[in-house]
């Protein structure tokens, strides 16, 4: 399978190890990976900040950069959600619809039968999964706690559960928001941080050593709150955990 790798701007700049781990995982499951260097941003920060036309301009640019590829994959539930729901709204161009439909979150793709399974991995840690709101409620990767719809598979959880030695611990509130929310984290800094602290405390009570998410933005928020309050947990993207567990990349699995 030929895939294009989209590494969201904040991952590119602040957590490049997630990009490296994603690349290693994609290659390990037999994907031929292209990384178009002219990529920048999917438009999400502008959409959530109330600038849909600026978001749309970036969305159109995204289509230009990625339309040549059969599949586009990103280690981010929220960027993929923005693209999947935003691109068709922002542009009447049928190419935008097609690109939106071909854009997938990393764990979605790793579970695809068209890819090889990952090698067996080992990760002997107590792990709490932080469900990203956009992966869960916008992409429906898993079943939101509010919903009574038939259960849906949660690919990140499935991949992590398959790791030898990994013990999943469950916070009392299964899928409450971490409080990031893009511009919300800045404009509503006090409430945002309190949400992060509550999320963290819930995971801590459950006994998590490592908190894992499909989204780096949630992790930056939780890690930022944890460091400020002196909490010891580690915060890793699911790609970093999988790559480290499967021995795929020397750089993955580190926090800095």
Partner 1 sequence: MADRGMATGGRGLTEGDVADTAPDWTDAGAARGRTSHASRARRFVADAARTTWHDASLWGVRAKRDAAAAQVPDWETLREDAASTKRDALARLPELWRRFEERASAAGAQVHWARDAREHNEIVARLLRDRHVSRVVKSKSMLTEECGLNPFLEARGIEVVDTDLGERIVQLRHEPPSHIVMPAIHLRRQEVGALFAREMGSAPGLEDPDALTAVARRDLRGRFLAAEAGITGVNFAVAESGAIVVVTNEGNADLGTALPPLHIACVGLEKIVPETRDLAPLLRLLARSATGQAITTYTSHFRGPRPLPGSELHVVVVDNGRSRLLARPDFEEALACIRCGACLNTCPVYRRSGGHSYATTVPGPIGSVLAPARDPGAHADLPRACSLCGSCSEVCPVKVPLHRQLLAWRGVLADEGHVPRHRRAALAFLSALMLRPTTYHVLARVARSLARRLPAPILDRLAAPWTRTRALPPIPAQSFREQMRARRRRREQEHRP
Q: d(Cα 100, Cα 83) in Å, to the nearest integer?
A: 6
Is residue 142 a contact residue for partner 1 (CB under 8 A)?
Answer: no
Collect all residues with Cβ–Cβ distance below 8 Å to 62 and sequence separation of at least 6. Answer: 6, 39, 42, 43, 83, 87, 99
- The region of 118-126, 151-159, 163-171, 195-203 touching partner 1 under the rule CB under 8 A is 195-203
C-alpha distance from residue 241 to each of 117, 132, 154, 190, 207 (Å): 16, 16, 16, 31, 18
- Identify the residue among 27, 32, 35, 165 touching partner 1 (CB under 8 A): 35
Write the interaction track for partner 1 spanning residues 80-99; mark x where CB under 8 A is met and - where it is not: --------------------
Give which of 227, 244, 234, 239 is closest to 208, Cα–Cα. 234
- Identify the residue among 3, 4, 19, 163 touching partner 1 (CB under 8 A): 19
Q: Which is nearer to partner 1, 162 or 224 (CB)?
A: 224
From the centroid of its chain, how far is CA 72?
A: 14
- The region of 114-122, 144-152, 203-211, 238-246 touching partner 1 under the rule CB under 8 A is 144-152
- Identify the residue among 3, 4, 20, 248 touching partner 1 (CB under 8 A): 20
Is residue 206 a contact residue for partner 1 (CB under 8 A)?
Answer: no
Is residue 170 a contact residue for partner 1 (CB under 8 A)?
Answer: no
Is residue 68 a contact residue for partner 1 (CB under 8 A)?
Answer: no
- The region of 91-99, 105-113, 161-169, 173-181 touching partner 1 under the rule CB under 8 A is 173-181
Strand partners, 210: 127, 234
Q: Which is nearer to partner 1, 99 or 166 (CB)?
A: 99
H-state helical runs in the chain: 9-14, 16-28, 44-48, 52-66, 77-90, 94-102, 106-110, 133, 155-161, 183-187, 189-206, 216-228, 238-245
Give which of 198, 197, 117 is closest to 158, Cα–Cα. 117
Say if residues 106 and 187 touch (Cβ distance below 8 Å): no
CB of 7 to partner 1, least distance (A): 5
Is residue 40 a contact residue for partner 1 (CB under 8 A)?
Answer: yes
The CB density around residue 140, as the number of other CB atoms within 10 Å, is: 15
Q: Which is nearer to partner 1, 19 or 121 (CB)?
A: 19
Quickly tell me which residue has 């390990």 as its tokens: 28
- Identify the residue among 2, 116, 145, 207 touching partner 1 (CB under 8 A): 145
* Interface of this chain with partner 1, residues 96 to 125, rule: CB under 8 A: none
CB of 22 to partner 1, least distance (A): 9
Is residue 72 a contact residue for partner 1 (CB under 8 A)?
Answer: no
From the centroid of its chain, how far is CA 101?
A: 17
């Amino acid at each position: 399978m030929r895939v294009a790798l989209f590494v969201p701007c904040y991952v590119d700049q602040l957590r490049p190890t997630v990009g490296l781990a994603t690349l290693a995982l994609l290659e390990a499951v037999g994907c031929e990976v292209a990384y178009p260097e002219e990529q920048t941003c999917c438009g999400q920060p502008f959409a959530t900040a109330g600038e849909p036309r600026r978001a749309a301009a970036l969305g159109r640019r995204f289509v230009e950069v990625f339309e040549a590829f059969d599949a586009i994959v990103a280690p981010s539930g929220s960027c993929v959600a923005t693209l999947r729901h935003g691109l068709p709204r922002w542009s009447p161009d049928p190419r935008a619809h097609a690109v939106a439909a071909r854009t997938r979150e990393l764990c979605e793709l790793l579970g695809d039968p068209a890819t090889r399974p990952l090698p067996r991995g080992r990760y002997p840690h107590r792990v709490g999964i932080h469900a990203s709101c956009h992966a869960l409620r916008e992409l429906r990767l898993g079943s939101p706690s509010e919903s009574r719809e038939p259960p849906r598979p949660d690919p990140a959880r499935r991949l992590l559960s398959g790791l030898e030695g990994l013990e999943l611990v469950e916070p009392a509130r299964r899928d409450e928001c971490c409080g990031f929310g893009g511009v919300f984290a800045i404009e509503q800094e006090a409430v945002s941080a309190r949400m992060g602290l509550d999320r963290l405390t819930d995971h801590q009570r459950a006994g998590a050593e490592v908190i894992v998410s499909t989204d780096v933005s949630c992790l930056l928020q939780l890690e930022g709150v944890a460091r400020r309050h002196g909490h010891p947990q580690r915060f890793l993207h699911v790609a970093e955990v999988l790559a480290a567990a499967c021995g795929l990349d020397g750089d993955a699995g580190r926090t800095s």
